[in-house]
Amino acid sequence: MYPYSYSRSTKTQPQPGQTVLSVLKIVSGFMMLVITAFCAVYFLAMQVPVTSSSMSPALSSGETVLSSSAVYSFTAPQRLDICAFRVNGRVYVKRIIGLPGETVRITDGRVYINDVELEGDVTDQKAISPGLASDGITLGDDEYFVLGDNRNNSEDSRSISIGTVKRSQIIGKCWCRLTSLGPYLM
């Protein structure tokens, strides 16, 4: 006899029904996770309709974007973010150009931040009307300067009806465009 004895494994083979049950548990757990994530995004994010062509070509009139206020709970709004904000009861979607404490000026159709031309601008389109920014606007500690990407067809911080946007007026960062083909991250 050998000092070590080997015996057959006492593991039992899974029954066919147990394998199917295990797979169903995994699939149902995954589906619950997906549904929970979808509901959290859908209900915690605000749907904002784009009502004009002022953000063209990034966004078109008639589209809907998701705006999340949670993003700005953890970080401050950043330059070139697309945000939703409320002024006089109306919700707008524009791009943040000027940040608190900066001076924004539009000269010869170009945007300047603290007398330096804006780098990384999303458009080459010159702004025909500088509006309120012709002499420069110095932003307060909680103020932002916003522009539409379609600079010559946009009601934004250049106009007296909107002006600078206070942090408390910003609803959230727009991060997803809803299209007929499904969501599209921005």
The CATH number given to whatever domain includes residue 130 is 2.10.109.10
Residue 1 has pLDDT above 70, yes or no: no
Residue 41 has pLDDT above 80, yes or no: no
Neighbours of 92 (CB within 10 A): 25
Residue 108 has pLDDT above 90, yes or no: yes
Q: Choose among 131, 141, 134, 138: nearest CA to 103.
A: 138
Angle value at C-alpha 139, between 79 and 88, nearest 5 degrees: 90
Q: Give the mean pLDDT of 62-80.
A: 90
Contact 152, 131 (CB under 8 A): no
Confidence category of residue 9, pLDDT binned at 50, 70, 90: low
* Mean pLDDT, all residues of the chain: 87
Residue 5 has pLDDT above 60, yes or no: no
CA separation for the pair 178, 47 (Å, rounded): 9
pLDDT value of residue 144: 98
Confidence category of residue 117, pLDDT binned at 50, 70, 90: very high
What residue spans of 45-169 are helical by DSSP H? 71-74
Q: Indicate whether 4 belongs to any domain.
A: no
**Residue 142 belongs to domain spanning:** 47-185
Q: Indicate whether 42 belongs to any domain.
A: no
Tell me which of 84 and 12 has the higher pLDDT.
84
Q: Indicate whether 33 belongs to any domain.
A: no
Q: Indicate whether 144 belongs to any domain.
A: yes
Q: Indicate whether 98 belongs to any domain.
A: yes
Q: Indicate whether 116 belongs to any domain.
A: yes
Q: Give the mean pLDDT of 63-82.
A: 91
Q: Indicate whether 101 belongs to any domain.
A: yes
Task: Give the tens place of pLDDT for each residue, 131-183.
Answer: 999 999 999 999 999 999 999 999 999 999 999 999 999 999 998 888 655 56
Give the total number of structural domains in the chain. 1
pLDDT value of residue 10: 58
CA separation for the pair 85, 76 (Å, rounded): 14
Q: Indicate whether 111 belongs to any domain.
A: yes
